[in-house]
Amino acid sequence: MKKLFLKFDRKCETNLETLILWLTIIILRIPNFFEPYWYGDEAIYLSLGVGLKQGLRLYTDIIDHKTPLIYYLAMVPNQFYFRLLNFTWMMVTTTLFFFFAKKLFKNSRQAFFSSFIFVLLTTLPWFEGHIPNGELFVMGFVMVALTFLAKTSLFKNFINNKPKLALETNSKKETGLLVLSGIFLGLGILTKVPGLLDFGAAALFGWFAFTSSITLKSQKLKEKIALLGKFISKSMFLFIGTLIPIIGSIIYFVSIGSGRDYLDYGLLYNFRYSGSWNPDFPSAFIGMLFTLPGKIIILFAIIAILSFARKKFTPVFQFIAGWFALTLFAALLSNRPYPHYLLQVVPALALLIPYFLKSILKWKKQFREIILGALLLILPVYIMIILNVRPYGTSEYYSQFYKFVSGEISQDEYDQSFNGLVKDNYEVAKIISEIGSDRMFIWGTNPMLYALSQTSPTSRFTVSFHIKDFKDHQNTLRQIKLEEPKIIIVMKNEDDKFLDLQQYLDTDYYPNNTQFETMTVYLRQKTN
């Protein structure tokens, strides 16, 4: 027993940094498990998860505009289990990030500092890290991909400043690792489309190895062409791996009769979504920079500087800065001011900060890295100001939880502090449970009630703004009349009237006796 204890003690001492990271996550995420159903995106994921468990076809019978994996991950019993899945996912993701940082920096302290920043930014409410957002699940797949990539000769030789050898080394094991890495990058894309830019980051190892090799004066044209072929070959294996899950998903949705709908809503709609938001910019020039062409030019300029000013930058900085630029581009695809979009930038940011701070100590040798690093670090701050991104309050979040556990405020007061709909939602959920219905319709935006009551909508959409966006009113009403749900809810804060629905309600439904501040509950009239 004593030997076993000593062995365990040595194991803990050896992995002390990992244990500190785990303990930090555990402590900071405790309040996550006490939150009510209050957050819209999470509720939409859970609502579609309920629909999938009921046998509905994704993108045909029930629709949201993200790629499919996030909805299948949400096929859990309830919100608690979704939070538990997110907690476990981020424990594993953080561990993989720490191990990857150690391979990148070859310095355990620097890797730990980077990982601690990673934990804070992906766990605290600032950027909604306490919610199971799609970006966090993408992050997990990306870190698995980078873990496989870190085992390749491509990675090892590039990091060790042997770019030519990085491209020339080839084996079945190398090919297998590249394909495996690509598969997990593909799974990230199937969780959320901006994961495409993380694929670009993985491809940077080969690209920077190639550009570093061809800038050598001793290289002849034939050798440069040969190196280009080797870069393309390695990139193709990564690309093939990425295509495997994507093609698999297409085959699956075609097989269940949802191929066209998957194309329209799961894939192509993202292009429409990214161009549908038009913020007010302080000048036409800044507005131009935030257009898709403007952002592409800036991204390409950063990658070009990193690629062809190779002697000015270390391989590690090249990769970190390139990854940072790509993920920042991904976060800005729609120019929307949602804090959780910036979560995709966090892994590269967490690597960039300690690297930048260490570079300051060697400012004479790494002056150009300090300049570019400083510009990159300033960029997201400036973007947050321009787009009016407002991070969530962290001190308020934890102080409110303390008041709750200490008995200073009641459960109802605590729940209501998250969202003004919570109190009514929990009361209406009891009515739904008593009626025994697993389908209903809500005109307005309240997907939390679907998730809470474990029901799915008698409509293809969970929220009214999607119905309005796709002008799906008549199809929605047709489906409601066909299914005759026992309960229909109209949110009082929904400004746009659905007149045909209201006429149908006046004829076939009656308002529930209990009046609610935020919604009107209609029950179906009994027929003989």
Tell me: the pLDDT tens digits for 9-35?
A: 566 667 889 999 999 999 999 999 999
Domain boundary among 386, 408, 428: 386
In this structure, the answer to whether residues 377 and 432 fall within a common structural domain is no
In this structure, the answer to whether residues 299 and 379 fall within a common structural domain is yes
Residue closest to 202 by CA, chosen among 221, 181, 186: 181
Distance CA 501, CA 503 (A): 5
Sorted by sequence, the CB contacts under 8 Å of residue 96 that are 6+ apart come out as 140, 143, 144, 146, 147
Distance CA 123, CA 97 (A): 14
What average pLDDT does this structure show over 410-428?
A: 96
In this structure, the answer to whether residues 188 and 314 fall within a common structural domain is yes
Of the candidate ranges 112-126, 271-285, 473-487, the one whose mean pLDDT is the lowest: 271-285
% of the chain beyond a pLDDT of 90: 80
Sorted by sequence, the CB contacts under 8 Å of residue 295 that are 6+ apart come out as 289, 329, 332
In this structure, the answer to whether residues 193 and 342 fall within a common structural domain is yes
In this structure, the answer to whether residues 198 and 282 fall within a common structural domain is yes
Domain boundary among 343, 367, 386: 386
Q: Count of domains in the chain?
A: 2
DSSP for residue 218: T
413 within domain boundaries: no
At residue 7, does pLDDT exceed 90?
no
What average pLDDT does this structure show over 364-387?
A: 89
6 within domain boundaries: yes
Q: What's the pLDDT score for residue 528?
A: 47
In this structure, the answer to whether residues 272 and 130 fall within a common structural domain is yes
Residue closest to 119 by CA, chosen among 133, 98, 150: 98
At residue 399, does pLDDT exceed 90?
yes
Domain boundary among 362, 386, 410: 386
In this structure, the answer to whether residues 374 and 499 fall within a common structural domain is no
How do residues 261-311 score in pLDDT, each as one tens digit? 999 998 888 777 776 778 888 888 999 989 999 999 999 999 999 998 766
In this structure, the answer to whether residues 131 and 246 fall within a common structural domain is yes
403 within domain boundaries: no
Alpha-carbon distances, residue 159 vs 310, 349, 459 (angstroms):
13, 19, 52
In this structure, the answer to whether residues 378 and 430 fall within a common structural domain is no
Per-residue tokens: 481: 């009349």
Q: What's the pLDDT score for residue 167?
A: 86
At residue 3, does pLDDT exceed 70?
no
At residue 218, does pLDDT exceed 70?
no
Question: Which structural domain, as residue segments, surrounds residue 511?
Answer: 420-524
48 within domain boundaries: no
Order of strands, sheet of 487-491, starting from the edge strand that comes earlier in the sequence: 456-457, 439-443, 487-491, 519-524, 509-511
Q: What's the pLDDT score for residue 366?
A: 76
What average pLDDT does this structure show over 390-416?
A: 95
In this structure, the answer to whether residues 378 and 427 fall within a common structural domain is no
| C-beta of residue 206 within 8 angstroms of C-beta of residue 154 | yes
For tokens 């630029």, the residue is: 325
How do residues 442-469 score in pLDDT, each as one tens digit? 999 999 999 999 999 999 999 999 999 8
Q: What's the pLDDT score for residue 213?
A: 83
Distance CA 224, CA 226 (A): 5
In this structure, the answer to whether residues 195 and 312 fall within a common structural domain is yes
47 within domain boundaries: no
Q: What's the pLDDT score for residue 435?
A: 92
Beta strand extents in 275-390 (DSSP E only)? none
444 within domain boundaries: yes
